[in-house]
Structure 1
Amino acid sequence: MKILFVSGELIGSAICQKLHKEGNEVKLYIHKPDWRRCLEGVVPKVNDWQKELNWVGKEGLIIFDDVIFGEDQDELRREGYRVVGGSRLADRLENERHYFHKILNDYGVATLPSYDFSSVTKAIKFIKKNPDRWVIKQNSHISSLNYLGKNKNDVNDVVDVLREYKRRKISPVHIQKFADGVEVGVARYFNGNDWVGPVEINHEHKKLFNGDTGPLTPEMGTILWYADENIRLFTDILDKLKPHLREIKFCGDIDINCIINEEGAWPLEATPRFGTPASEIHVELNQSPWSDFLSAVSDGLPFVLDYSKEFGIAVSLTCPPFPYSPNIFNRIGNQLFPKKIIFKNLSEEEMNHIHFEEVSRLKDGAYKWSGQCGWVLHVTEKGKDIAEARDKVYKIVSKINLPNLHYRKDIGEKVMNNDLQKLKNGDGFNF
């Protein structure tokens, strides 16, 4: 099958590579400049996706992996192309948190108090009048600027962060009341008419260092497994959006991140697109051909997905400037470091568990880090329990070397030793 893969910043890179490995004719377009040198020698690339529409035709598949192409996707669907991904209104679910919460409320799903402010000054004034533990979030998937207030009665730390927002001319501002509990994601594919495939449960690890300390990152690793659709986290929250997803012609994977505590489950944000490294674990667990599955997603057809019922794990391997933007890092200094990636005695089977993001393959067969952001690659495995999955994935990770390589060694520990037990004793969410 001919597949045109249109990427913002390689969020869906693992699926793109898997489609290529399955024997499909794949052409990859990368929109954002900091990623354009990635995956050279790995997947065929093009410089202008719109010039490839005649090539892919209306029999092929066009896949979008980010929330910056919504209007293009709407237009392509009107013209009769087969499209996987969001839409203009689907993009709003992620880009405008307050809008997402309103949609949830319209379908009877309760949310935490949250507010949007057009200016930082207005946000500071509100917080001073209403002291509490407030969370500052961006209306995007840039998590490094998010901040979690530390003290319910002293909001000076939150105000200081907002003043930095003002200095950097960041607006608008979204704040949300803090809720303590276990953070869990619930996700599923939607084909424009109905759900496709199993329900997904995931636990993200967003802090840079072991023990959930340090700055926020896009993601350092994930635990993920598939669940029955009767689980309350799906029936009480995600499934409520089914009429809306049908109305906005959404055809893709949508995730809702939630906090679960003794009061129930509180939706925080939506991700109506592929996620990293959740998609890498999908590639690990899904056993049906991806071209068949995504064709059903684009065409509004049912599909019985063959998949592993084990626990999946992903560990993200990074290097500087991650998790910070290359714009605030000395790129010249970064170029002083060797960029060659060494895979030590990895078998072909072990290499199948490695998913490149900011990696290119040289003519001599060697691999190098070729990006600017430092989210280099992701390693996945699966096991009958989280402990087995952890053992297997870290054996592969130990055979990979790159100067200044960084990764967390505790992905999944808190989930298996603490969080799952809390959920079993909690509000009946059938974990």
Structure 2
Amino acid sequence: QNEEEAVAAVHEMIDELKFGKSSARIVIEEFLTGPEVSVLSFTDGKTLVPMISSMDHKRALDGDKGLNTGGMGTVSPNPCYTEDIAKECMEKIFLPTMNAMNSEGRTFEGCLYFGLMITPKGPKVIEYNCRFGDPETQVVLPMLDADLYEIFEAIYNHQLDKVDIKWHKGSCACVVMASGGYPESYPKGIKMNGFDEKGQVEGCFVYHAGTKLDEKGDFLTNGGRVIGVTAKGNDLQAALDKAYEGVSKISFEGAHYRKDIGQRALKALG
């Protein structure tokens, strides 16, 4: 957040080798500010179709405090990603990325992930991934109003431009329930309660991430981010209400989750 923190971080990485040999050399980048947006996209190397946008919540604790995690929850669509910004991203980021890879003989076909930040100077790329993102996918795919297999087949056959990809109206929300201690050390093998026999709860779809099924048919924790409780609604508040209702039905010792997933998005909606 400031020069003092930056200098301390450099000393930790270079002098104290905090990350071993991998931090013997560092790259200093521009400090960017603004809301983050995740945009996954389908591409066959000729056509690129962005999916519906989403908003991740990386910090472990409410109010965007605590340590960074793999993601404590998501909502879709992201209200910070306006039509004008989407158009700018397509013209200045998405298509140039696809064309640049083609020009280098590194054509990419599949799911291309754009991690963006909407800065005062416009959208900037924070990261790329060549896969679906977690937990963004949990709220993006339920909004898809098309056959995912047909999209994959079209990508394989380089005919993505012939597929009509539509999205459902409304919103989708995902709340991650994590093990006590995550993202640092945490126990495993704790019995979970509240599921039906398929590991679901009524009114929601539960993505199992760090669970396992024992010989008795009980679900046990087996990771840091244990489950993602996901629900759709006619609007964002309705989706959040359903997701948190699902969370309230599930319990296991040490479980923790953020109580403010989607609040930034609701504020942006006004």
**TM-score category, normalised to shorter length:** 0.7 to 0.9
What secondary structure does 1:201 align onto? coil
Work out whether 1:185 is the aligned partner of 2:38.
yes
Structure 1 residue 267 corresponds to structure 2 residue 267: no
Corresponding position of 1:408: 258
Structure 2 residue 101 is matched with structure 1 residue 251: no
What residue ranges of structure 2 are gaps of 5+ in the alignment? none
What residue is the counterpart of 1:242 in the other structure? 98
CA distance in 1, matches of 2:139, 2:241: 16
Q: What's the CA shift string for 1:295-322, capped at 9, x where partnerless?
A: 2233322222343132222111110452
Structure 2 matches for 1:21-36, cutoff 5 A? none
SS in 1 for 2:237: helix
Q: CA deviation at 1:403?
A: 1.3
**Paired letter, 1:256:** F
User: Using a 3 Å threshold, how does the CA distance of structure 1 residues 345 and 361 change in structure 2: closer, same or farther?
Assistant: closer
Q: Which runs of 5+ in 1 are unaligned?
A: 1-149, 422-431
Question: What's 1:233 paired with?
Answer: 89
CA contact (8 A) 1:284 1:353 kept: no
Shift of residue 170, structure 1, vs aligned partner: 4.3
Query: Equivalent of 2:202, from 350, 355, 359?
Result: 350
Instruction: Give the Å deviation of 1:412.
Output: 0.9
**Structure 1 residue aligned with 2:67:** 215
Contact 1:346/1:399 (CA < 8 Å) preserved in 2?
A: no
If you compute each CA radius of gyration, which structure gives the higher value, 1 or 2? 1
Are positions 1:203 and 2:55 aligned together?
yes
Q: Which amino acid aligns with 2:172?
A: G
1:329-344 alignment to 2 at 5 Å? 329=185, 334=187, 339-343=190-194
Aligned-residue offset at 1:163 = 5.0
Partner of 2:241: 391
Residues 168 and 233 (structure 1), Cα distance of their counterparts in 2 relative to 1, 3 Å cut: closer
Matched, 1:361 2:221: no
Q: 2:95 & 2:2 partners in 1: Cα distance?
A: 35
Amino acid at match of 1:314: C
Counterpart in 2 of 1:298? Answer: 156
Q: Quote how far apart the aligned CAs of 1:215 are.
A: 0.7
Of the three residues 219, 224, 227, the one matched with 2:76 is 224
SS at match of 1:237: helix
User: Quick one: structure 1 residues 355 and 344, their matched pair in 2 at CA, closer, same or farther if it must change by over 3 Å?
Assistant: closer
Query: What amino acid maps onto 1:176 in structure 2?
Result: E
Structure 2 counterpart of 1:199, which letter? M
Contact persistence 2:213–2:220 (CA under 8 A): yes
Give the 3 Å change call, closer, same or farther, for CA 231–160 of structure 1 in structure 2. Answer: same
Q: Which residue of 1 aligns with 2:227?
A: 377
% identity of equivalent residues: 24
Distance of aligned partners of 1:258 and 1:164 in 2 relative to their CA distance in 1, 3 Å threshold:
farther
SS of 1:340's partner is: coil
Which one is further off, 281-290 or 375-384? 281-290
Root mean square deviation of aligned Cα: 2.9
| Letter of the 2:146 counterpart | S
Residues 284 and 380 in structure 1, CA contact (< 8 A), matched pair in contact too: no
Q: Which residue of 2 aligns with 1:319?
A: 179
TM-score (normalised: structure 2): 0.82
Normalising by structure 1, what TM-score? 0.54
SS of the residue corresponding to residue 41 of structure 2 reads strand
User: Is the CA contact 1:186–1:257 (under 8 Å) kept in the aligned structure 2?
Assistant: yes
State the Cα distance separating 1:362 from its structure 2 match: 3.6
Q: CA deviation at 1:344?
A: 5.5
State the Cα deviation string for residues 65-105 of structure 1 (Å, max 9, x = none): xxxxxxxxxxxxxxxxxxxxxxxxxxxxxxxxxxxxxxxxx
The one-letter code of the counterpart of 2:193 is I
Query: How do 1:34-53 residues align onto structure 2 when only pairs under 5 Å count?
Result: none
Q: 1:401 to 1:304 in 2, by over 3 A?
A: same
SS at match of 2:150: helix
Across the two proteins, how many residue pairs are aligned to each other?
259
